[in-house]
A and B are shown apart, each in its own frame.
Chain A
Amino acid sequence: MPAWWTRLFRRRVQPEGPHRSAEVRLVAAAEAFVRPSLTDYRLPDSAALAKARALLEGALTIEQRRDLFARGYFCVKGNRFSYRIREGHAGNVDALDPSGRVVGRYCAHPLGRIPVHDVMLAQKLWLETDEDMFLREASPYPLHLHERGCRVPPVHDANAR
């Protein structure tokens, strides 16, 4: 093959030089980092649960953390309702009216097999940043008859008990 052809071919294949290839390498490394591991289909183990719990607790206020320890749920203030996020993967978000009564239950969760506390953190972040979208996208979940109008103790009552 003539040398001029080889030079022309290289110029066509690598038009932007080493700078471009460094950028491509960076993007490839990022994609490899983000790609799910081969064990991602497994259920979260106890280490995963502990990590998720630590991440959630770091994001909560003191009152929310206290509620999570004592009662297994915490409350998030929205524009329309307050919400109670219980431990669970599905149907675990209750809408509360100003008097603390359960007026609705919603189900929305992140895709994938992620630990339960990651699910709760995702729901908290979604409610805090885009409540309308949450109410539009989430599936309403049926309330049991005995739960309708059931009053949830508000956060600031925790010390009174």
Chain B
Amino acid sequence: MPGVTLPDFIGAQNVLAVTMTCMAVYGSELMKCKLSIMDSSGDKEATWDPDSPDEVAAAKAIFDAVRKRGYLVYSQPAGQGGVALGQFDSKAETMIAVPPIVAG
């Protein structure tokens, strides 16, 4: 880079390693799945990494607790129609839990 002098201890390999770490962190952020549970505060969000068994187990426990309360859970890909979910899908990127619906 013209005009920028890096200290001696920052070699090209270190820069590469840091860049790859940042990309990995950024990539893992992108892979987060989300369950939004509607309530009076807008929604409560639970996020998990689909590759982490512990996080998936915790998310599944929340999903089951929500279903037990009579909530309907939908998978909602951005800009597409929703899909009703009967079972937990750890790979669904966006899930929305809706309180039981009643006639007005």
Residues of A within 8 A of B (CB): 26-27, 29-31, 33-34, 36-37, 39-44, 47-52, 55, 58-62, 90-91, 107-115, 118, 121-122, 124-126, 128-130, 137-139, 141
User: Cβ of A112 and Cβ of B99 under 8 Å apart?
Assistant: yes
User: Cβ of B42 and Cβ of A26 under 8 Å apart?
Assistant: no
Q: Give the one of A29, A44, A48, A125 with max B CB within 10 A.
A: A125
Q: Which residues on the B side are within 8 Å of A39 (C-beta)?
A: 40-41
Q: Which residues on the A side are within 8 Å of B33 (C-beta)?
A: none
Shortest A160–chain B CB gap in Å is 23
Q: Which residues on the B side are within 8 Å of A124 (C-beta)?
A: 82
B62: which of A34, A42, A61 is its contact (CB, 8 Å)? A34
Q: Which residues on the A side are within 8 Å of B72 (C-beta)?
A: 125-126
User: Cβ of B57 and Cβ of A125 under 8 Å apart?
Assistant: no
| Complex CA distance for A111 and B100, rounded to whole angstroms | 6
Chain B residue at smallest Cβ distance from A123:
B101
For residue B18, CB closer than 8 A to chain A, the reply is no
Q: Which residues on the B side are within 8 Å of A126 (C-beta)?
A: 72, 98, 101
| Complex CA distance for A31 and B63, rounded to whole angstroms | 10
| Complex CA distance for A111 and B99, rounded to whole angstroms | 6
| Complex CA distance for A112 and B99, rounded to whole angstroms | 8
Residues of B within 8 A of A (CB): 36-44, 46, 57-58, 61-62, 64-66, 69, 72, 74, 76, 78-84, 94, 96, 98-104
User: Cβ of A110 and Cβ of B82 under 8 Å apart?
Assistant: no
Chain B residue at smallest Cβ distance from A51:
B42
Q: Which residues on the B side are within 8 Å of A113 (C-beta)?
A: 40
The 5 A-B residue pairs whose C-beta atoms are closest, nearest first, are A51-B42, A107-B104, A30-B61, A110-B99, A48-B42
Asked whether A114 and B99 contact (CB < 8 A) given A42-B40, A48-B42, A61-B79, the answer is yes
| Complex CA distance for A122 and B38, rounded to whole angstroms | 9
Asked whether A107 and B103 contact (CB < 8 A) given A31-B65, A59-B78, the answer is yes
Chain A residue at smallest Cβ distance from B69:
A34
User: Cβ of B37 and Cβ of A34 under 8 Å apart?
Assistant: yes
Q: Which residues on the A side are within 8 Å of B62 (C-beta)?
A: 30, 33-34
Q: Which residues on the B side are within 8 Å of A111 (C-beta)?
A: 99-102
